[in-house]
Structure 1
Amino acid sequence: MDIREILGISEMYEFIRYLKDIIFDKQRREEYFNKIIEDIDLRTDFIRDVFQAEAAQRKQMKQDYTPDCICNLFYELSTTPAAVLDECAGTGSLAISYIANGVKNVICIEKSETVFPLLLFNMSIRNVTGWVIKEDITTRELLEAYRLEAGTRYSDIAKLEPNIGRTQTIISNPPYSLPWSGIGDWRFRKYAVPPKSKGDYLFIIDILTRLKEGGEAFVLLPHGVLFRGNQELAIRRSLIEKRYIHGIIGLPDNMFLNTSIPTVMICLKKADTESVYIMDATKYATKKAKVNELDGEAVHEIAKNYKNRIEKAKISRLVSIEEIQANQYNLNIPRYIDTTEPEEQVDIRKLTAQMQETDEEIRKTERELAGMMRQLVGDGYQSDIAEVLKLWS
């Protein structure tokens, strides 16, 4: 059921405004939650689609909220975690896929003033323990932080200074190619500073600073991160030399509500790896209405192949660091996965027979036409007909 029908409202902004008023009042908050929870499936983010259709700031904030099939893919790619950190969490869709599978220790980081009350709501109503933090990741400026403690039915919320340390599992669908200041800080001591025009590698580097040794992270980004040059090439080279890139999974285009851009899952591990698992998963797409989807079987197959590093012709292979170095650190998937289909082999005998048959048909038609011309009578025809007949002789 639509959240607006349950609450008797017509616009999403009414819900956001009301949440801001009651979210920190435990009694009012729980009364409100009780009204909502009777008709809601908490295994999915039931407010995401309504919010992004009405209120998401795609043009200004590059916000593209993650569809359920990709949320499920994040979870299935992960080694079963005890806790998860969702960076650029939005309404919390990615984290919710983990909560639905039993993970109850969750950290969510989000900057948007508009979406932040929805994120707090989504985590508290699911009775998790963890943190919901408002932070500008481009600068690491902390704006607000709230500690959630699992209660009888819903999480209690307290405003506290965060103390989260490093995390074993990090997930993120950050804003794609977000312009930022381009001013480096302590995070970039071992890396080039990403260009001002595209902050994609800013988020990768930030995530690595929060990741435990031996930990894993999954980041959804546009394909340009695989092959763009200059500072991004320098960063990509550093990540490859440090053996942090464990896998790359190219996903189908047209999977989001507001953009058809194809994306790639960058799979990071703080553990030595001598090869990168590269997969073209576009063939797993299923067309549904206006978008492409990955059904449950496809999600499971992609995750199984990644975890077991299974090589499949035209879909996936293990690529050595040496091969990537020989390709000047370009990770563009078609360089490593040949998806072209061989042209159908021509049957020469059959083609020759068809040509002979066609030639015979032409000669037969010419003979018939010549016969008809010889029957023509009248002044001036005979010399012209004689010339034409010479061509067919």
Structure 2
Amino acid sequence: MEVKTTSENINQILWQACDTFRGKIDSSIYKDYILVMLFIKYISDTYKEHYDEYMKKYEGNEERVKRALSRDRFILDEICTFDYLYERRNDVEIGSTINKALEHLETENSGKLRGVFRNIDFNSEAVLGKTKERNAMLKQLLEDFNKLDLRPSSLGNDDIIGDAYQFMIEKFASDAGKKGGEFFTPTMVSELLARLVKPKENDRIYDPTCGSGSLLIKVVNQVPNRKVAVYGQERNGQTHSLCRMNMFLHNIDDAKIEWGDTLSNPLHLDDEGKLMTFQVVVANPPFSLDKWAMGFAGNTNGDENKFKMEASLDPFGRFEWGVPPSSKGDYAFVLHMIHSLEEGGRMAVILPHGVLFRGASEAKIRKQIIKHNLLDAVIGLPENLFYGTSIPAVCCFLKRVEIGKMYYLLMHREKEIMRRAKIKIS
């Protein structure tokens, strides 16, 4: 009987692989090497098993096998498989060999993997040290991952590999402290938001600050058949790559994850160049982001103090209710999300406690949110819940009521007021 690979097996070996880098490189950096290698090992083992199956099915007919493999999720040539890299683990140019393998893998799968590995360099002297030290670490990394059996038949039907990836992201976020909050939302918070927005089949789901994608995945998993469209945007290039790999490892192959500043350069637009709208919008944006509007600045000749954000600078008209203070971008993200919410849509966002009370332009924006009947609930969250900050937070749940329903509610309310005042309604 074949021994199955369990989550415990994978997590143990992954954690051992981290020992290769501990004490030499910060975990916020070496996480990329671990998670990329996990991705390569998984798709390589899957490819190898499918190759063996097709060889048996087509009785060794290489042409038919090649045709069948071309329809797999990912196309792998020999030079970009894990086994190829492992066999060359003692080569003096192993870092360069891994880089070339990743580049070739991107080229062969340009529709899915274009740009995924652009922010990782296995031959970086600045990060991994000089040749001897670098090669020793990469050899050990390959030997650690060689212990893993990630063939689909060994993993079974459970989402073990996706869970392992998620486990490592959470571990890295915990290690990274403040930096960890930039790419990971704690599991229990993601679960809360996912349940609040109640996604339905065929919904378009959007996270404008998606990090490593953990929140989006939680929302997708609320739909039994997972038949939804997934959209996200992330400003940090390395985190954007993690998110795309995370989606693939959770079998979400058609997620549209863009790289860029959501506020100054939103990339999910409709055919007319306007913001796309979604039935479900969720986010855990960076708390009170300073200089959030600098992407609108244009040429200030290096003097940031010359720039002042104005509503007219945004071509999408998101700040007509007020321009958030330059040192606190919380309501900038909220306004972007509101403008990205379809009629009848649901929205949940994590924010620092201060958004409920701060004055000036934030108070004006808050008043407009209430006036337009968008706010449905506010849920208080305790201190020390998020990586890198001890402050309390809130989960704000908003709904954009359908215009017809809104009209009905307003008319009903008016009639009720008049009835109570004993005014005859004709």
Which of the five TM-score ranges fits, normalised by the shorter chain? 0.5 to 0.7
Q: Distance in 1 between matches of 2:318 and 2:353?
A: 22
**Structure 1 equivalent of residue 286 of structure 2:** 175
Work out whether 1:132 is the aligned partner of 2:253.
no
Query: Structure 1 residues 42, 125: closer, same or farther in 2, change over 3 A?
Result: closer
Deviation at 1:3, TM superposition (A): 5.3
Within-5 A mapping of 1:36-55: 38=155, 40=160, 42=162, 45-54=166-175
Residue identity in the other structure for 2:219: Y
- Out of 94, 114, 121, the residue aligned to residue 245 of structure 2 is 121
Which structure's residues are more often helix, by fraction? 2
CA displacement, residues 299-331 of structure 1 (integer Å, 9 cap, x when unaligned): xxxxxxxxxxxxxxxxxxxxx9xxxxxxxxxxx
Work out whether 1:267 is the aligned partner of 2:378.
no
Deviation at 1:56, TM superposition (A): 7.0
Contact 2:275 2:339 in 1 (8 A): no
CA displacement, residues 347-368 of structure 1 (integer Å, 9 cap, x when unaligned): xxxxxxxxxxxxxxxxxxxxxx
Within-5 A mapping of 1:33-182: 35=150, 38=155, 40=160, 42=162, 45-54=166-175, 58=179, 63=182, 65-82=184-201, 83=203, 84-101=205-222, 102=224, 103-104=226-227, 105-128=229-252, 129-140=254-265, 142=267, 165-179=276-290, 180-181=292-293
Structure 2 gap ranges (5+): 1-7, 21-29, 40-98, 114-144, 294-307, 404-412, 414-426
Q: What value does the CA root-mean-square deviation take over the aligned residues?
A: 3.7
Query: Structure 1 residues 4, 235: closer, same or farther in 2, change over 3 A?
Result: farther
Q: Distance in 2 between matches of 1:234 and 1:36?
A: 56
Residue identity in the other structure for 1:14: Y
Contact 1:213 1:270 in 2 (8 A): yes
Work out whether 1:217 is the aligned partner of 2:347.
yes
Structure possessing the higher radius of gyration over alpha carbons:
1
Residue identity in the other structure for 1:134: W
Contact 2:178 2:388 in 1 (8 A): no
Deviation at 1:35, TM superposition (A): 3.2
Deviation at 1:117, TM superposition (A): 1.1
**Structure 2 equivalent of residue 238 of structure 1:** 368
Query: Structure 1 residues 35, 165: closer, same or farther in 2, change over 3 A?
Result: same
Q: Distance in 2 between matches of 1:252 and 1:100?
A: 25
Q: Percent identity?
A: 28
CA displacement, residues 186-224 of structure 1 (integer Å, 9 cap, x when unaligned): 333531110000000000000111110111100000110
Contact 1:172 1:218 in 2 (8 A): yes
**Structure 2 equivalent of residue 14 of structure 1:** 33
Q: Distance in 1 between matches of 2:216 and 2:282?
A: 8
Query: Structure 1 residues 66, 189: closer, same or farther in 2, change over 3 A?
Result: closer
Q: Distance in 2 between matches of 1:90 and 1:245?
A: 25
TM-score (normalizing by structure 2): 0.52
Contact 2:351 2:393 in 1 (8 A): yes
Structure 1 gap ranges (5+): 146-161, 274-319, 321-393
Residue identity in the other structure for 2:242: L
Work out whether 1:247 is the aligned partner of 2:377.
yes
Which structure's residues are more often strand, by fraction? 1
Query: Structure 1 residues 110, 237: closer, same or farther in 2, change over 3 A?
Result: same
Deviation at 1:65, TM superposition (A): 2.5
Q: Distance in 1 between matches of 2:190 and 2:213?
A: 10
Query: Structure 1 residues 137, 197: closer, same or farther in 2, change over 3 A?
Result: same
- Out of 325, 337, 342, the residue aligned to residue 207 of structure 1 is 337
Aligned pair count reads 253
Q: Distance in 2 between matches of 1:203 and 1:78?
A: 18
After TM superposition, the structure 1 stretch with the greater mean CA deviation from structure 2, 178-187 or 201-210, is: 178-187
Q: Distance in 1 between matches of 2:361 and 2:260?
A: 25
Deviation at 1:262, TM superposition (A): 1.1
Q: Distance in 2 between matches of 1:117 and 1:244?
A: 34
